[in-house]
Structure 1
Amino acid sequence: MIKILIIDDNQDHVYFLKQIFTEKRNIIKKLKFDEPFKIYKASTGIEGIKMAQLHEPDVVILEQKLKGMSGLEICKAFKALKGLEKIPIIFHTAIQDPEQKEKAFQMGASDYLEKPVQPYELLMKIKRHIELYHLQLELQRTFEIHEKDLNLARNLQKRLLPTPAQYKNIKFDYLYIPSHSTSGDMAGIIPLSDNENFVYIYDISGHGLTSSLLSIIVKEELEKIVVEKKEKNLKKVILALEKSVTNYFGDDMYFTGIFAILSKEKIQYANFAHREIIFITNNEITTDEFTNFPLGIGLVTSPEQITLKEQKITPDTKIALYTDGLVEFSEKFTTEKLYKIITQNLKTPEQIIPEIENAIKTNLTPPRPPDDITFLILSWKQSS
């Protein structure tokens, strides 16, 4: 049913319009209207608004010269009311005034036709504007469903991140800001023993639900290898992970990451096309930018293709890992700015995270960054 609301206090004009919708069947057939018309009439603006709220018409045909509210005022009211603002309004009026026509479009009118209008022209305009209106509604519904799915994915990813608290032997804190379309960032810590922890951060390529889902799959597979199978050899962990997840990744999909085993005296790690690992000792920074091939695309198939690195650490050493969204959301937030923040006289991860968060808020255009932002900083817990 195609619902037409006519707002006009001239009954002859209303009758003329009704005749078009009921008797011009050859034109209606030619323009391929697939549903019958249902006509609603109103003689004033207030009555028209109430009928629109009640019946939700597909199009409004509006006279400009009315008693009480003018057509322009009615159009403005429609565009200000939730639920009515997208309904197409076609002015059908005897007023031949270019200034009035311009004002009508400024108020949000979809079209402006002068009386007497040819039936074919009116029906053609109605069909075009109704099709556009329904397309807008469908896009809005699709967007709302997509946004709901994205919010679910964001919340799920956030729940899978580690709880900011002190583990038995390390302390850490992290920052996670999901993008508008959500992405595939993930970070975590898995205790291996009293003296060892498995630490990781990774970033799935692309955006959207696919990247988010792949992020969860990689986390599940990684925990199976490290927790259930109790694998502690870093190369074997990586090879098993690559073997188990590669089939999930389609064309042009991959992931970068850093995987490490952290103990009190050292950290052994492997970087797979990810951002640099950062070491902070006595407010001095050292970084390691060496990387292996990215994962998820079957390029890493043997131990010889993995280069492990090792770094001695002290009780004062803090280790920072992050994804590229942190230094790509704004030209003003560079790696140099990041380094400056984390080399301030801040002693614990819990002190560093708020400083980074404040700096991001200063430079971030609301509401969300274009890519996920993840930053993890940790240090070995000193004995009391």
Structure 2
Amino acid sequence: MMMPVYDGFYFLEQYEKEFEKKYIPVIVMSAAGDTRSISKAFDYGIYDYFTKPLSSVQLMSFELKVKNALRMKNTMDQLRERNRIIENEMNLAAKLQRKFLPNEISNENFELKYYYRPYRELSGDYLDVIPLAGDKVLILIADVVGHGTASAMIGSMLKMHAIDFVESHPDFDLVDFVKNSNAELIRLGVEDTIVTACFFIYETKTGFLNYVVAGHPYPLVFDFDQDDVFSLENPGTLPLGLFDNIDVMPGEIRLKAGQTLAVYTDGILEAKDYDGEFFGLENIESTSKDFVEANDVFEYNRFITSLIGKLDSIQDDVTIVFFSIRK
């Protein structure tokens, strides 16, 4: 450790910067045997430390330490390679998951846009938009408890189930669909699988919105004509996956021209603001209210900038769907 110009600690400092992610074990042999020097060397992440001169027993120990260090490096190299493969597979899965997201819609009747932000590569949030017969559209948003691979797979299952159900039921009934989705989750038999969800059928001819809120945060309606924001509260339905049979409590509202329906997952509720506090329902409602009072129509980019700008830390998947009725 004691060298002219640059000592061993300088070398260890540079080594740590240069080879931080490569894990090359370093064994130090030095005449400096004081506690401070040894402790400082270990702070740089060395594998072991020997003081000179070495006894015969220490020489044998030194040889074993070198062999163990080489084994450790080989193990770490294998682990890094496996992690690299897993990371590549997760990134590919995330790309595929994004391809399953619905297209945003803008037509003469309504506009649908969404904000989608997985916490990790894969999201446990699911959303879909499926056309129905009779100028109707089915809108789904669900939040599988947890996040990651298992939650994403359950979300994919929900998507395929929804498509199959719509195709096999020309006379689509929202209550039957919710009950059938719950039964499908129960049939899977995956322990602790709980899904909160909102289901909507919008009739473009009449403007009526039929909906079911299953354990999910209540959607908000932005009314720019009245400078008001209100929630779609009803008796509510239990989350899916808890019980074999559930009572489904549907609701109905007629959306007016210029109104915007906002549906979000609880990741936004559990996000932290810059004071380290949960953002919560009150802040979502007040942010929405301030936006409605300051604007005549819904503007996606402006609202998202206003909302996300108040968040310091997001620790869950976040999805927000905006469904705006044309004037």
TM-score by length of 2: 0.83
8 Å contact kept, 2:234–2:251: no
Aligned residue number for residue 79 of structure 1: 16
Query: Helix, strand or coil: the match of 2:106?
Result: coil
Quote how far apart the aligned CAs of 1:225 are: 1.2
Counterpart of 1:147 (choices 65, 87, 100) is 87
Aligned residue number for residue 170 of structure 1: 110
**Distance in 1 between the 2:86 and 2:309 partners?**
26
Counterpart of 1:334 (choices 274, 280, 296) is 280
**Distance in 1 between the 2:86 and 2:234 partners?**
37
- Code of the residue aligned with 2:230 in structure 1: it is T
Quote how far apart the aligned CAs of 1:308 are: 1.1
Counterpart of 1:313 (choices 237, 252, 255) is 255
Aligned residue number for residue 229 of structure 2: 285
Quote how far apart the aligned CAs of 1:134 are: 4.7
Quote how far apart the aligned CAs of 1:298 are: 4.4
Query: Helix, strand or coil: the match of 2:268?
Result: helix
Counterpart of 1:230 (choices 170, 187, 200) is 170
Larger radius of gyration: 1
Q: Is 2:240 the counterpart of 1:295?
A: yes
8 Å contact kept, 1:249–1:296: no
- Code of the residue aligned with 2:12 in structure 1: it is C
Quote how far apart the aligned CAs of 1:327 are: 1.3
Gaps of 5+ in 2: none
8 Å contact kept, 1:89–1:109: yes
Q: Is 2:155 the counterpart of 1:202?
A: no
**Distance in 1 between the 2:105 and 2:12 partners?**
57
- Structure with greater contact order relative to length (CA < 8 Å, sep ≥ 6): 2
Quote how far apart the aligned CAs of 1:65 are: 5.2
8 Å contact kept, 1:279–1:320: yes
Structure 1, residues 114-146: CA drift from partner, whole Å, max 9, x if none? 121413432454455455545544543444333
Quote how far apart the aligned CAs of 1:234 are: 0.8
Gaps of 5+ in 1: 1-63
Percent identical residues: 22
Q: Is 2:15 the counterpart of 1:96?
A: no
Q: Say how many residue pairs are matched.
A: 312
| Residues 356 and 92 of structure 1: CA distance in aligned 2, closer, same or farther (over 3 Å) | same
Structure 1, residues 289-343: CA drift from partner, whole Å, max 9, x if none? 6421221344336xxx211111232223221111000111213533222223333
Q: Is 2:196 the counterpart of 1:256?
A: yes
8 Å contact kept, 1:338–1:356: no
- Code of the residue aligned with 1:355 in structure 2: it is F
The 5 A counterparts of 1:85-124 are 85-115=22-52, 116-117=54-55, 118-124=58-64
Higher alpha-carbon deviation: 173-182 or 91-100 = 91-100
Report the RMSD for the aligned CA atoms in angstroms: 2.8
Quote how far apart the aligned CAs of 1:181 are: 5.4
Aligned residue number for residue 364 of structure 1: 312
**Distance in 1 between the 2:150 and 2:47 partners?**
38
- Code of the residue aligned with 1:341 in structure 2: it is T
| Residues 275 and 220 of structure 1: CA distance in aligned 2, closer, same or farther (over 3 Å) | same
- Code of the residue aligned with 2:264 in structure 1: it is Y
